[in-house]
Each structure stands twice: as C-alpha cells, then as structure tokens.
Amino acid sequence: MRRIKIKLAYDGSAFHGWQVQPDLPTIQGVLEQIVSAIEGKAVHVAGSGRTDAGVHALEQVAAFSISNPIPLLNLRRAVNRLLPHSIRVLSAEEVHAEFHPRFDAQAKTYEYRMFREEVCSPFEWPYVHHYPYPLDEDRMIRLAAAFEGEHDFTAFAAADDRDAEGKSKVRRVFSSMLERPPGRLVYRVRGSGFLKHMVRNIVGTLIEAGKGNINDLTVLPSKSGPTAPAKGLFLVSVEY
C-alpha cells in the first residue's frame, strides 16, 4: 500500500467546504470520487483541515492510501484531468504509511483579503471582502498584534460538531499582522491550528476595532465581532 501526499489549490466558491456532505459538492467528496475510481475501490482522502464553504486554498495538503502502482506524475495528471478546473493538484509524493496531514501539521498560515476602494472589479469580487467604508486602519493593526501568543480562543470559535469531545480551544498564534497594500487590507496569521470560523471572527473583530467599537487594544476582546464573509479567506500553506 502506498501513502500519497498531495498539495492542491482550489476556488471554494462553488463548494460547501472541504468535508464530505450528503448530496452537496465538497472538495473532499470530489477528490474521493476520483481517487476511488482510479484505485477501483473506496479511498478516504484526509485533509489538513476543514475549510468552510466558500473558503479558498492556495496550498491545502491531503493524503490517501492506494495500491495502484501508477507513477506519481501520471497520477497527478490523471486526477487533474478528472477534476473540475476550480481544483488543481499541484504536486504528489510518496510518504511514510503513518503520515496524516492534520495530526502531523506543525503550523498553518491563512490570509484574509479586504478590498477598500469604492468600486470593486467583478473579477476580484469573488475573492475579497469589499469594505469601502471608513476604518481606523492603525487601530486595526495594533489589535492584530494582540492575537499573538497562546490564548483560549473560545470566544472566536463557532459551534462545531467536535465540541462534544471537550477538547481545548487554546491555540498558539505565531504571527498576526495586518498589512496595507494599495487599495487593500490583508490580514495574515500563522498558528499551530485554528478553530471553526476563528480567522473570520478575528477579522470581524479587527473591523469592529477599525470602526471604534473596541477600546482596549492590548488584550483580546471578550467576544468576537461579526464573522467576516468566507470568500475573502485563503489557506496559504501548511507546514510539517
């Protein structure tokens, strides 16, 4: 049996997130259907994390086990030929049998893109949160730094079907910064792991700070701001 690790990029606009859901198009569901057809039996494709509906990935990591001897280059080509153009396998490699893209991950980086100008091109709109209204961007930058370090992010997590397991919602954020390229705001965060809606809730909180609704910028607020739209969020990379 071969353990295959793949890196893939996808436009999440037309999908209901990563995780398989009955009668709904998902990234994992499409991949499992194609890899299973190549293998000739059901194959489970594990991902590094469950991106939400509408969230994009520049470099998601997944893995599966097959016995088919197909060379890696041919496997990548075969999968890409069968995938919709909104999903592309960027690379494929063989790894040790116990590799798991989620449990072995050491860090992940996400990026959230906001478009600040009055008119947003229709070719950019699907991939940014268009917010042309006044914001104190310096306040937002100061608050972004407060998320660094180890914190309990319960206030920034949406309800999850794993909550019944009672697992800790403490996460370590290695870096958290807001940058200002022309006409945009880009929030970039790297951490040990992320909870459901955590990055989008952080962005919503930064927007509240920019509107002047958060006064103390030295500690995490006790509750998050509104969840920012999914379409501005990208999974940038996963580190092992």
Which residues are designated catalytic? 52
Owner of token pair 């989620």:
102
Neighbouring CB atoms inside 10 A of 226's CB total 12
Residue type at position 80? N
Q: Report the candidate in 208, 210, 182, 190 with the shortest Cα–Cα distance to residue 115.
A: 182
3-state helix, strand, coil split of the chain in percent (to 5) is 25, 30, 45
Measured distance CA(83)–CA(88) in Å, rounded? 7
Measured distance CA(78)–CA(70) in Å, rounded? 10
Q: Are strands 233-239 and 184-191 parallel, antiparallel or unpaired?
A: unpaired
Measured distance CA(110)–CA(112) in Å, rounded? 7
Q: Report the candidate in 185, 5, 234 with the shortest Cα–Cα distance to residue 102.
A: 5
Residues 158, 208, 192: CA angle, nearest 5 degrees: 45
**Structure token pair of residue 119:** 């008119």
